[in-house]
Amino acid sequence: MRLRLLPAACAVSLLPIVAHAQDAQEGTTAFDLGQIIVRAPAREEAVIGSETVNQEAIETFYRNTLDEAASLLPGVNASNSGGSRNERLLFVRGFDRFQVPLSIDGIRVYLPADNRLDYGRFLTPDLAEVQVAKGYASVLDGPGAMGGAVNLVTRKPTQAFEAEARASLDLDSDLGYAGYTTFALVGTRQDKWYAQASYTRNEQDHWDLPGSFVPTPSEDGGERDFSQTEDWRFNAKVAFTPNATDEYSISYTRQEGSKNAPLHVSDTVASQRNWSWPYWNIDSIYWLSTTAVTDQLTLKTRAYHNGFDNLLSAWDDATQTTQTRPRAFNSYYEDEAWGGSGELAYAFTDTDVLSFALHYRSDKHVEFQQSFPAGTTEPPQTNKEDTWSIAGEYTGALASALTLTIGASYDWRNLKRAEEYGTVPGGGSTPVLFDYPIRDANTYNVQGRLNWQASEATAFYASVSSRARFPTIFERFSSRFGGAVSNPDLDAERAVNYEVGASTDIGKVHAEGALFYSDISNAIVSFPFIYEGQAVSQSRNVGSAEYYGLELSLDARIADTLTAGANYTFIKRNFDDPSNAGFEPTGVPTHKGIIYVDWQPVDGLHVYPNLELASDRWTVNTAGTSYYRTGGYVLANFRVDYDVTDKVTLGAGVRNAFDELYYLTDGFPEPGRRFYLTARVRT
């Protein structure tokens, strides 16, 4: 009979009482070489830490995209950028996608132009786990983790032959077809090597607005206009494992997507931007290894090549059939990155380890635009930039139950080329290809953490981390369609993150808690001023902020067939923008929580009711002139799974069962009631 990860593991403390799939001798499906360092108190039997959501959790709660899966964690919020881009976002303790780097198997996914990652494009069915380091992210894992880090860990085989297939059918509130998700995996693990390939695909035909939505000139209700998306990802890896300590692997990931962008429901039809993304593609080939040079000395290496190709098309109107007006264009991005890292760790004793890491990355960004009605295409503009980081970390035992970790790193960035096509200030009205001034930058990071294992059941920790992140090309040089001027000397933002926390087991109850505080300085804001007689803006390091809050989680085995729990996050953000007295930080609710039950009335049958709760959050209108709070929400979700055999499981569920109308950002309502059917087959 198969074991199952309980929702306690994923929805509350994310520490399982029971684990799915593998017996002890089979090992874990997580690709160890692709993991990052996450710091959290955890029970010994835990397959996932309090900063990690594993695949069984993702499947149980039916979270097929990264934003939905990661938001199961306390301290992590999903949101929507709104506007014409309509991208899915993640906030980690209030920090956004610019301040929390995203990686796949430890290889960073970075868009050097603006890093506007759409987390809805990253699928989860083929992952072993999603790791989220909150606040404290080890300097050994590379630069940029000002507020934390997110890492997608792919799977690896654990048996001589293994295969799995899953399929789900999405239904709208009227039980009509709304889309599907499929996943397939095949792999083998032999004595000295393993190989695996997986494929996942998600097609969203549409989703329905809640029945209480009142139609507007821009949205007639029912099926949400322009909500179509299509994404797929292929991953393959082969590895050599000559002995118990060494591993050498080559992996390839190809991800392709296309999407439309729903319109603001209350803005006028004439003011809408009709945008779509015909393709949004990422690929990566990477080498990962670990070698035990001696009994005390371990070397880990990474090397990679990443590519990103993107087309943003702007249309004349909502029909998306013609590009003849001046508002229409095709904007192309073609990015490449090469890089690698090496980490050397020396274990003086079982508890004292000194590690050093060196990271290097070279980014090349090429962009060009086709403008209408003439249909002319501007010359390609190229930006090249190298980023380096050198880091050191020491972990040592101060006493039998007390451990100290201290780390520091130095990051530097070398800008090689920064081109733009347009009119040069003071140089006339004829567009030309020109170069921005070249500026390099550097910064430092320091951190420390203290862990106290007070007893077998109780642990405490405290940490402080001062981290910085360099601004993107967009922040330094973008003209924002002619409304901004560049700032080549824009400096790095910085956050000092403080945290104390504890975890304990009392009988069959597990509890965790954390208090956190972040002090942000040199925050980048868009500063308005008059330049050559025109009102423009410029990115400047003049903002400051403080984020603070509380995370609590609880899970309990009430009976052999009943588990229940909840988690809760409180967060407060105060942001001082000298250029905008009315500014409020958007996208994050003050209160957020989830409550769940896992009931097994008979053998093989699991019933999963759960509630998602959030208070209101700040948002702003399209013009940026009025900040207000969206309403809170309570979403009821329900799922039933039945194990037909120990290898076949069928399921059915509903999300937002009561069809509640709610918003995460101005003018963009979230989906109403959604049903789904699932099937899973495995060896």
The per-residue pLDDT for range 31-78, each reduced to its tens digit, is: 888 787 775 544 333 332 468 888 988 999 999 999 999 999 999 999
Q: Which residues contact 1 (CB under 8 A, 6 or more apart)?
A: 603, 643, 646
38 within domain boundaries: yes
What is the C-alpha radius of gyration for the chain, rounded to an integer number of angstroms? 25
Which token pair is 482? Answer: 């002619």
Q: Which residue has tokens 């029971």?
A: 18
**Is 107 a residue whose pLDDT tops 70?**
yes
At residue 437's C-alpha, the angle toward residues 431 and 440, to 5°, is 145
Pinpoint the alpha helices (H) of 367-427: none
**Residue 423 burial (CB < 10 Å; 0-12/13-18/19+)?**
middle
**Is 27 a residue whose pLDDT tops 80?**
no
Q: Are 239 and 57 in contact (CB under 8 A)?
A: no
Q: Are 518 and 496 in contact (CB under 8 A)?
A: yes
**Do β-strands 432-435 and 458-469 pair in parallel, antiparallel, or remain unpaired?**
unpaired
Quick: pLDDT tens for 425-453.
666 778 899 999 999 999 999 999 999 99
User: In terms of residue numbers, what domain contains 221?
Assistant: 7-682
Residue 284 belongs to domain with CATH number: 2.40.170.20
Count CA atoms within 13 Å of residue 492 on its CB side. 22
What pLDDT is recorded for position 35? 84
2 within domain boundaries: no
Least confident of 39-48, 157-166, 543-552, 631-640: 39-48
Which token pair is 629? Answer: 């709070």
In the predicted model, what is the mean pLDDT of residues 198-202? Answer: 98
What pLDDT is recorded for position 426? 62
Q: Which residue has tokens 């001046």?
A: 326
Q: Are 162 and 203 in contact (CB under 8 A)?
A: no
pTM here is: 0.93
At residue 268's C-alpha, the angle toward residues 264 and 271, to 5°, is 85
- DSSP E strands: which ranges in 205-321? 229-240, 247-260, 275-292, 297-314
What pLDDT is recorded for position 52? 87
Handedness of CA 415, 419, 420, 426 (dihedral sign): positive
In the predicted model, what is the mean pLDDT of residues 252-277? Answer: 96
Q: How far apart are CA 9 and CA 19, in angstroms?
A: 9
Q: What are phi and psi of 78, to 5 degrees?
A: -90, 150
Quick: pLDDT tens for 516-564.
999 999 999 999 887 777 788 899 999 999 999 999 998 888 999 999 9
**Residue 519: which of 488, 545, 541 has the closest Cα?**
545
Length of the chain (residues): 683
1 within domain boundaries: no
Q: How far apart are CA 409 and CA 145, in angstroms?
A: 12
Q: How many domains does the chain have?
A: 1
Q: Are 97 and 115 in contact (CB under 8 A)?
A: yes
